[in-house]
RNA sequence: CGGGGCGUAGCGCAGCCCGGUAGCGCGCCUGCUUUGGGAGCAGGAUGUCGGAGGUUCGAAUCCUCUCGCCCCGACCA
C-alpha cells in the first residue's frame, strides 16, 4: 500500500487523552480513534492488526475442532431472565427496548444465546461433543473504561462454548481449548502465562486466565519460580501456617494509642512489626448483618475469598456509622475482644500468632498481648487473605513471586450451571435426559492488540511482532532523486509479487518525517533507500526491534526480506 | 459511585485570578527553495471558547446548573 494514499493519520505529539503506552502509541500511530469513553474506531492500520490476530485465532480454534458461527449482538431479555443474569449482571449490561417496549440487551457474552440454540437443535449424545465459537463485538458498560483498547465498553471478543456428555469429555475439551490458547498467544508473539483464576460473574467450576506479562497490567499474579504453579492473587490459595501454642502467654493489657488508626500508625507508635498487629475488618454482609474478619496487619484481605466463603455476591466495608454503632469507637480501633453481636471470621495466619495487638473498641485504645482463644472466640477460620510475594508455594518449597499481567484470555469449566437453568439436555445412550456439561472460552481480541503494544514498544513507537504486524516491511525513500524513486517503486512491486505486505512511503516528506513515522507505526523491517547508499550500490534494511541495520546489494533485498519474514513468522509461531 | 484533574482552531497548549480586539506552536492550503532522523522563506484558511441559564453597558474570564473526557479506588476479555 502507498502511504500517500492511505488513511494513516499519525500524530506528532502525545494526545492529551492518553496516559498508558498502548493507548498513546495506538493513537499516535493512527491505528485507533476515540468516539466516546471506551468506544473506539479501528482505522485501517489498527484493523489490519485485529484481522491478523483473528486469523491466528480462527486457525487454532478450527484446528482444535471448534466451529465458527455468528450469534446476534442484540438479545431478548427473556433468555437472560431464565438464567437470572438479567438482574444479576447489573448495570454492566446495556439494556434497550424496541418499539413495542420489549426488553433487549447488547450481548456482553453469549452463554444464554448459545445455550438456547443448543437446546433447540441438539437432542442426542451422538451430536456431542460440540464446540462453537464466534468473533464479535461485545458490550459491557464498564464501571470505568480506561486505557484505550485495554478496557472498552465495546470491544472485540472471540467467545467459544463447548457442550459435552460427561465430565471426562468436558475435561478433555477444556484442556484442548487451554492448549489452543497457549498456541494462539505463542503465535501472536506475546509473552504470557496461564494462571488459575476466579470464575467471576460467568460462574462455573474452574478456570484459567491467560496473562500477558506487562508492568502496566491491571492484574496481579503470583507464581512459583520452581513449578508450574501460577494464579491470580484473587484466587491463589494461601497455605495455612502451622499453629503455634507458646508455653506462656502474657496478660492482656490496654494501651493508649491516640490517633493510631492504621496498622502503620500503630506499628510506628508501639515500635512493633506490622505482622504483630491484627486488623479487624467489619463488612456489611447483609442488610442488617455485619461480619468481622481478622487479618494480620501486613496482609491484605481478599474480598473474593470472603464472599465465596459466605456464599454472597456483595461485600462492602461497613460504613463509619455502622462501625461506631457496633464498637462505640471510630474506624481504626475495632478489635475482636468483647465484640459480641457479629460473626467473627479469622484468617489462618492469626492462628500462628500469640501476644498480638488489636483494637480496643474504645477511642484511642488498643489491646496488647491478645491471644485466641483465651481472649475471644473465632466462629470460623479460613483463607481470607490475598496471596503475596514471599508466601509459600502450594506446589513446592519455594516462595511465591508476583508479576503484573493483562488478562487476554479466560477459559471456564461451567459444568451444568447454564444447561440446567435453561433445560439444555440431550438423551444419553440409555435414553436418559442429561444436562450438557458446558465450558466457555474467551479471548479479548482488541485487548490482545493493546497488550502486544504494551509488551513491544520503545521510546520511538511500536515494535510489532511479525505475526500481527499491520505490514511486514516498509520502504522509505529518503531522498527524492529519480534513481531513488525508481528503485523504490521497483522494490515495492517485486515485494508485492512475493506476497510481502509492504507499505511504500511515497509521500513528499523529508527523511526525518518518514523515519519517525515508520518507527511509530512499528513495521518490523524498514527498507531505506537514499542516494547515499545507492552510490555504494546498496540498500539499507533496518530491523525495527533491534535497530540493527544491514546493507545489501539491491538485487538481494527481496530474497533477504522474504527469508527474514518467513523465519520470523515461523519462530514466533 | 467516591476522590483528583481537564474542556479555547485538526493536535498540543496560553489567555481566566484582575471582565473590554481570541492568541501561540505544530498541522492544513498556495508558491519558491530544500530533501539520510520531525526543513526555510513568503502568503493564506480555520473557532457557536463543551452546553444552558444568570450577573453586567460588556463574559472565554464572575455565579449557578448541566454535559463530556482523563487519572486513582471497588468490576472484567
Q: What is the pLDDT of residues A426-485, one digit of tens each?
A: 999 999 999 999 999 999 999 999 999 999 999 999 999 999 999 999 999 999 999 999
The Å distance, CA of A319 to C1' of B74, is: 14
Protein-to-nucleotide distance from the CA of A481 to the C1' of B36, whole angstroms: 13
Domain identity same for A140 and A57: yes
For cell 483463607, the residue is A383
Q: What is the DSSP string of A328-381?
A: SS-TT---STT-TTSEEEEEHHHHT--SEEEE-SSTTEEEEEE-TTTS---SEE
In a domain, A214, yes or no: no
Same-domain status, A156 and A282 = no
Distance CA A318, CA A375 (A): 24
CATH code at position A21: 3.30.930.10
* A201 and A104 belong to one structural domain: yes
CA of A78 to C1' of B66 (A): 36
Residue A9 beta carbon within 7 A of nucleic strand B: no
Number of structural domains, chain A? 3
Higher pLDDT, A273 or A25: A25
Q: Which domain holds residue A532?
A: 471-572
- Clarify whether residues A334 and A423 are in a common domain: no
Task: Write out which nucleotides of chain B lie closer than 7 A to a protein Cβ.
Answer: 1-2, 6, 11-13, 25-27, 34-39, 68-77
- CATH code at position A309: 3.90.960.10
Q: Is the pLDDT of residue A46 over 90?
A: yes
| Same domain membership, residue A300 and residue A166 | no
* Whole-angstrom distance, CA of residue A468 vs CA of residue A46: 10
Same domain, A50 and A168: yes
Quote the pLDDT of residue A202.
Answer: 58
For A310, how many CA atoms within 13 A lie in the half-sphere containing its CB?
25
Angle, to 10 degrees, between the axis of helix A44-63 and the axis of helix A167-187? 140
Q: Find the Å distance, CA of residue A147 to C1' of nucleotide B45.
A: 35
- Helix, strand, or coil here: A27? helix
The three cell numbers locating residue A120: 433447540
A301 CA vs B4 C1’ separation (Å): 26
| Domain assignment present for A248 | no
CA distances from A535 to A376, A393, A530, A542, A559 (A): 88, 63, 9, 18, 21
DSSP string, A503-519: EE--SS--HHHHHHHHH
CATH number at residue A513: 3.40.50.800
Nearest-angstrom CA–CA distance, A113 and A73: 10
Our CA angle for A372, A377, A380, nearest 5°, is: 105
Indicate yes or no: strand B within 7 A of the C-beta of A94: no
Instruction: Assess if residue A376 is contained within a domain.
Output: yes
Q: A359 lies in a domain? A: yes
Shared domain check, A475 and A442: no
Nucleic acid strand B within 7 Å of A528 CB: yes
Please check the confidence at residue A143 and state whether its pLDDT lies above 90: no
Q: How confident is the model at residue A204, as a pLDDT? A: 63
- Is the CB of A242 within 7 Å of strand B? no
Q: Are residues A426 and A328 in the same domain?
A: no
Q: Which residues contact A167 (CB under 8 A, 6 or more apart)?
A: A437
Q: Is residue A500 part of a domain?
A: yes
Helix, strand, or coil (residue A566): helix
H or E element at residue A81: helix A77-83
Residues A94 and A138 in one domain: yes
pLDDT at A156 over 80: yes
Is A18 near strand B, with its CB below 7 A from some atom of it?
yes
Residues 183-212 of A with CB under 7 A from strand B: 200-202, 209-210
The secondary element (H helix, E strand) that includes residue A485 is helix A482-497
Strand B-proximal residues of A, range 434-463, CB below 7 A, are 442-444, 446-447, 460
Separation CA A409–CA A237 (nearest Å): 21
A382 touches strand B (CB under 7 A): no
CB A172 under 7 Å to nucleic chain B: no
| Same structural domain, A331 and A289 | yes
Identify whether A406 is part of a domain: no
Dihedral Cα A320, A322, A325, A331, nearest 10 deg: -30
Judge if the beta carbon of A488 is closer than 7 A to nucleic acid strand B.
no
For the segment 112-151 of chain A, residues whose CB is within 7 A of strand B: 140, 142-147, 150-151
In eight-state DSSP terms, residue A322 is H
**Nearest nucleotide relative to A158: CA against C1':** B77
How far apart are the C-alpha atoms of A270 and A258, rounded to whole Å?
11
Residues A144 and A258 occupy one common structural domain: no
What's the CA A549/C1' B40 distance, rounded, in angstroms? 31
In eight-state DSSP terms, residue A151 is: B
Residue nearest to nucleotide B70 (CA to C1'): A17
A82 plus A162 within the same structural domain: yes
> A60 in a domain, yes or no?
yes
The pLDDT, as a whole number, for residue A203 is 58
What's the CA A19/C1' B66 distance, rounded, in angstroms? 27
Considering the domain boundaries, does residue A318 fall inside one?
yes
**pLDDT of A565 higher than 90:** yes
Task: Please report the sign of the dihedral spanned by the C-alpha atoms of residue A201, residue A207, residue A210, residue A213.
Answer: positive
Least confident of A159-173, A186-200, A412-426, A433-447: A186-200
| pLDDT tens per residue across span A256-266 | 888 787 888 88
Q: Is the CB of A152 under 7 A from strand B?
A: yes
The arithmetic mean of pLDDT across residues A138-151, rounded, is: 91
Amino acid at each position: 500500500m502507498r502511504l500517500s494514499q492511505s488513511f494513516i493519520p499519525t500524530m506528532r505529539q502525545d494526545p492529551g487523552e492518553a496516559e498508558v503506552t498502548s493507548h498513546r502509541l495506538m493513537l499516535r500511530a493512527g491505528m485507533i480513534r476515540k468516539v466516546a469513553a471506551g468506544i473506539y474506531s479501528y482505522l485501517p492500520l489498527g484493523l489490519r492488526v485485529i484481522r491478523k490476530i483473528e486469523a491466528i485465532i480462527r486457525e487454532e480454534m478450527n484446528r482444535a475442532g471448534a466451529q465458527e458461527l455468528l450469534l446476534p449482538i442484540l438479545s431478548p431479555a427473556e433468555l437472560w431472565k431464565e438464567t437470572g443474569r438479567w438482574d444479576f449482571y447489573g448495570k454492566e449490561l446495556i439494556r434497550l427496548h424496541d418499539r413495542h417496549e420489549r426488553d433487549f440487551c447488547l450481548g456482553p457474552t453469549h452463554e444464554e444465546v448459545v445455550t438456547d440454540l443448543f437446546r433447540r437443535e441438539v437432542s442426542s449424545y451422538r451430536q456431542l461433543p460440540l464446540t462453537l465459537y464466534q468473533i464479535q463485538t461485545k458490550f459491557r458498560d464498564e464501571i470505568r473504561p480506561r486505557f484505550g483498547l485495554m478496557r472498552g465498553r465495546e470491544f472485540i471478543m472471540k467467545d467459544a462454548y463447548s457442550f459435552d456428555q460427561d465430565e471426562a469429555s468436558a475435561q478433555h475439551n477444556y484442556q484442548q481449548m487451554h492448549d489452543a490458547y497457549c498456541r494462539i498467544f505463542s503465535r501472536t508473539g506475546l509473552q504470557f502465562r496461564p494462571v488459575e483464576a476466579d470464575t467471576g460473574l460467568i460462574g462455573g467450576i474452574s478456570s484459567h486466565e491467560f496473562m500477558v506479562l506487562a508492568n502496566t497490567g491491571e492484574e496481579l499474579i503470583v507464581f512459583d519460580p520452581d513449578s508450574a504453579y501460577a494464579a491470580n492473587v484473587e484466587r491463589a490459595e494461601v497455605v495455612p501456617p502451622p499453629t503455634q501454642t507458646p508455653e506462656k502467654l502474657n496478660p492482656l493489657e490496654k494501651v493508649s494509642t491516640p490517633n493510631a488508626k492504621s496498622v502503620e500508625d500503630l506499628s510506628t507508635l508501639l515500635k512493633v512489626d506490622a505482622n504483630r498487629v491484627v486488623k479487624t475488618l467489619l463488612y456489611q454482609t447483609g442488610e442488617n448483618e455485619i461480619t468481622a474478619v481478622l487479618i494480620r496487619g501486613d496482609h491484605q484481605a481478599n474480598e473474593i475469598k470472603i464472599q465465596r466463603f459466605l456464599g454472597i455476591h456483595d461485600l462492602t466495608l461497613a460504613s463509619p456509622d455502622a462501625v461506631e454503632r457496633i464498637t462505640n469507637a471510630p474506624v481504626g480501633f475495632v478489635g475482636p475482644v468483647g465484640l459480641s453481636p457479629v460473626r467473627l471470621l479469622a484468617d489462618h495466619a492469626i492462628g500462628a500468632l500469640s501476644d498480638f495487638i488489636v483494637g480496643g473498641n474504645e477511642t484511642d485504645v488498643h489491646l496488647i498481648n491478645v491471644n485466641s482463644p483465651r481472649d475471644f472466640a473465632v466462629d470460623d477460620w479460613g483463607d481470607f487473605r490475598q496471596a503475596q510475594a514471599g508466601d509459600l508455594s502450594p506446589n513446592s518449597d519455594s516462595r511465591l513471586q508476583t508479576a503484573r499481567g493483562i488478562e487476554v484470555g479466560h477459559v471456564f469449566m461451567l459444568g451444568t450451571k447454564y444447561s440446567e437453568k435453561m433445560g439444555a439436555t440431550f438423551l444419553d445412550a440409555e435414553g436418559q435426559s442429561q444436562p450438557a456439561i458446558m465450558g466457555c472460552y474467551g479471548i479479548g481480541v482488541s485487548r490482545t492488540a493493546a497488550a502486544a503494544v504494551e509488551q513491544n514498544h520503545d521510546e520511538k513507537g511500536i515494535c510489532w511482532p511479525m505475526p500481527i504486524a499491520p505490514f511486514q516491511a516498509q520502504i522509505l525513500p529518503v531522498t527524492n532523486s529519480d534513481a531513488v524513486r525508481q528503485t523504490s517503486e521497483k522494490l515495492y512491486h517485486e515485494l508485492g509479487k512475493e506476497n510481502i505486505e509492504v507499505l511504500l512511503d511515497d509521500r513528499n516528506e523529508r527523511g526525518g518525517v518518514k523515519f519517525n513515522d515508520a518507527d511509530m507505526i512499528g513495521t518490523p523491517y524498514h527498507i531505506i533507500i537514499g542516494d547515499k547508499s545507492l552510490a555504494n550500490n546498496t540498500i539499507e534494511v533496518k530491523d525495527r526491534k533491534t535497530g540493527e541495520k544491514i546493507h545489501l546489494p539491491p538485487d538481494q533485498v527481496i530474497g533477504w526480506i522474504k527469508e527474514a519474514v518467513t523465519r520470523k513468522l515461523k519462530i514466533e509461531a
